[in-house]
Amino acid sequence: MSTAQFEARIAAIRGFSRFYTRRIGVLHEGLHGSPFSLTEGRIVYELAQRDGVTAADLGADLGLDAGYLSRVLRALEERGVLLRRPSRSDGRQNILSLTEAGRVAYAALNASSHDEIAAVLADLTEAQQQRLVDSLATAEALLGGTALQTPAYILRPHRPGDIGWVIQRHGELYAEEYGWDISFEALVAQVAADFLRDFNPADDCCWIAEKDGERVGSAFVVRKDKTMAKLRMVIVDPKARGLGLGRRLVEECMRFARSAGYTRMTLWTNDVLHAARHIYEKAGFTLVASEPYRGFGKDLVSETWERDL
């Protein structure tokens, strides 16, 4: 990476920091319309979530200078928000807690913060909201040093090229893992072509999962009739298994189906797909029909599962 590229990335992050602090009102005199500064508001929040915290613990967790923290705590105490009491285990330490007035102030601050973020999300579509949440989780994992321990993935709507990948990966994986022949890939190609040709964003959706910029999963919702949605082409690449991605894809499809006005969802699978069947069962689907048949070069048992939304 060149120096120019690195400097451009620094500028991009600084630019986002300026944008976001302005967007959520951090630069205003009072945080979320409250009488508290950003630091004071964060301290009030932490004390509302924790019991038995000392000033030393609070300073370490928030990365605050001891002298500066002491001045902020004194100001909160003088305003009747903060209470100190001696620690029973260490007389040199004081235990910090909110007064009743402090808890009332926290409730108002918390409600204002909630409503401001709700207003931000209200300007976005459901898919955009999820992309934002997933992107923030990725940023937190990277900056928190946990990216390697907790691999992140994102879900996004389909775009050109995705459906070809869905067809290819279904054909490859089912041949490798179940020995199914090319007729299964032909079926997936037909279902995918129907989805693209008849796609109506009010009735249908596709979620593509990405991990480290690479496609690793998919799930689709299509209209069966006015009240029934159909879950189709759910797949998770082996490199992304164990992350709960299959469950998440199914949940997001059900959430879309509810928002689209469907009252029931159905899906078709086969009895040999044990992992998929487990996800469907955990998601509340019930087996309503099964039938043996010959397909994809194998003797199989087809299954229909359904659930109310």
Contact between residue 302 and residue 293 where contact means Cβ atoms under 8 Å apart = yes
Q: Which CATH number fits domain 3-123: 2.30.30.100, 1.10.10.10, 1.20.1290.10, 3.40.50.360?
A: 1.10.10.10
Whether this prediction's pTM lies above 0.75 is answered by: no
Report yes or no: 206 and 160 within 8 Å, Cβ to Cβ: no
Residue-range domain boundaries for the chain: 3-123, 143-308
Architecture of domain 143-308 in this structure: 3-Layer(aba) Sandwich (3.40)
Q: Tens of pLDDT along 177-211?
A: 999 999 999 999 999 999 999 999 999 999 999 98
pLDDT > 70: percent of the chain: 90
Q: What is the pLDDT along the chain (309 residues), one digit of tens a residue?
A: 678 777 777 777 777 777 766 666 554 555 555 667 777 877 878 777 766 678 777 777 777 778 887 888 888 888 888 888 877 766 677 788 888 887 887 787 778 777 777 887 888 887 788 778 778 777 777 776 554 444 468 899 999 999 999 999 999 999 999 999 999 999 999 999 999 999 999 999 999 999 888 999 999 999 999 999 999 999 999 988 888 899 999 999 999 999 999 999 999 999 999 999 999 999 999 999 999 999 999 999 999 999 999
Task: Give the orientation angle of helix 245-259 with respect to helix 274-282, to 10 degrees.
Answer: 50
